[in-house]
Structure 1
């Protein structure tokens, strides 16, 4: 993965990240109990989860699942639909006016590929989603991926490589279908 870092078991960095998981899970549980029509409470709960206040035009349909929260950044006018998983230990940045469909997963962490190393820690790599992006229902974006401004990720796509700006990608693994200019 582009930008991948290995966090070995027993290191201070991994202990710090893992220590934040129960807090993030509790924040997500609190968010899940909020009705969609109470966006003020949702924005306050999001601020508790991420450590940053979202803009007044941020919209979220609970529930959302997150494993850290403090490494998650959203721009202005972002919409996150229900059932999304935002595993942000590697860092997630979501640009302005981006639309994230239901049950989308943005996954920045995983395990080392070699069997002998799989239980020795985790690997993380950031995800960057540009402005004016639409990620369709059930899509999965893996760590190390950048989705360019104005791109569309089709429903159910599995994105393992960078998506150029203003491009529609679809499939498993996702491939460019056409330019959107």
Structure 2
């Protein structure tokens, strides 16, 4: 579901309050020495949702809003990843996210006089997907179950289940056959 948020509105001001609070938590997370459980506890405070103990998050970890980032079970997030989540980012179970991945659910308008206003469009990454190092996912994209996004790809369109995509913009280069689900 796409929506808009304009500068100077009450909704925008409310977001700024949450951003300020969460930026303190993100800074605390990335500048201290923490156990794996402490990392999950701080990220749970940032997202306002309990992060399952089976998930592993490597630091540094960045999010600009935090409250619209939803992380499944047995997820691995490598270091340096950035989640621009105001529009919503949904990460399923068993997802692997490589280092320095950027997932954005926010865009700006092209018209210069409106450029500071935001267009929000959620990103959904389904179960068992794997995003390689330095991948960028743009607003509104759905990455299908078991999909693989090759390192350095820029994903601007939906990725079908069981597809391998690569390039800028990302395109399907292979289909994964004979998955365990296919053998049932």
TM-score scaled by structure 2? 0.92
Aligned residues: CA RMSD:
1.2
**In structure 2, the residue corresponding to 1:55 is in which secondary structure?**
coil
Aligned-pair CA distance for 1:52: 1.1
Aligned-pair CA distance for 1:34: 4.2
Change (3 A) 1:164 1:131: same
Q: Give the aligned partner of residue 94 of structure 2.
A: 97
Q: What residue ranges of structure 1 are gaps of 5+ in the alignment?
A: none
Distance 1:105 1:128 in 2: 13
Q: Give the aligned partner of residue 4 of structure 1.
A: 2
Q: Find 1:45's aligned residue among 39, 42, 56.
A: 42
State the number of aligned residues. Answer: 177
**In structure 2, the residue corresponding to 1:20 is in which secondary structure?**
helix
What pairs with 1:1-181 in structure 2 (closer than 5 Å)? 3-35=1-33, 38-119=35-116, 121-181=117-177
TM-score scaled by structure 1? 0.93
Is the CA contact (8 Å cut-off) linking 1:72 and 1:92 kept in structure 2?
Answer: yes
Aligned-pair CA distance for 1:18: 2.2
Is the CA contact (8 Å cut-off) linking 1:96 and 1:132 kept in structure 2?
Answer: yes
Q: What residue ranges of structure 2 are gaps of 5+ in the alignment?
A: 178-184
